[in-house]
Structure 1
Amino acid sequence: MARDGRGGGEGWRHWLAGLEDSLAGALELPRDAVRNLPRITLMGPLEMVVENHRGVLFFDTARVLVVVPGGRLEVTGDRLTIARIDREELRLQGRIGQVRFQPGPEGEGR
């Protein structure tokens, strides 16, 4: 597999991910910042913050679908509310029961 950009497939992606991890380590940066990953923080079962989101695909008080790089997050629970949303951060409140990552193309299902 050539490492000059002409190759394709999983080998190239694996090599690039390794390079990104090495760069993050050398520069002492968080991996999520270098690799364009969402950062998810749970404060117990009552609050959740998603950084680096791409928007809300679906919302009701029992289920929220959030578009993130590489797929979607499905959050289920009870009395869910969007406490805050902007380009950088989504803050959900309520009784969070489950958080599940659904891999796939970004924005799939829009």
Structure 2
Amino acid sequence: MDLALILLIIGIILVILSFFFDRSPKNEEDIENISISLHQEMHQLKKRLKTVEEELLIGVPTVGHTKKTKAKPIHEIIVNQILSLHAQGYSISEIAKRSSLPETDVVDVLKSRGVFV
């Protein structure tokens, strides 16, 4: 037999034997502790992310209706889109379609920014 073949067979036998003799409870306990620690860190990160998201939503300016009902906030990105479309010459109905808002909201946004009187 060739020397390479003999070494390959010995290597395969040693790998197979390592599955039977290398069962260390300490290794399994270490893996369990690492898994628990990662789970706890992920939970903490999710809580922090939720807190940051809530803080960001608090700072979103709202553009209200003239009615007495509670108005839904319109995000600043949508407001900028409405202003940009109006500056490009789009009609109120076209802006409403493109921004997925009612025409009254579009008019309110433009009025609040002093663009539409």
TM-score, normalised relative to structure 2: 0.28
Larger relative CO (CA 8 A, sep 6+): 1 or 2?
Answer: 1
User: TM-score with structure 1 length normalisation?
Assistant: 0.28
Whichever structure has more helix as a proportion of its residues is 2
The structure with more radius of gyration: 2
**Bigger share in strand:** 1
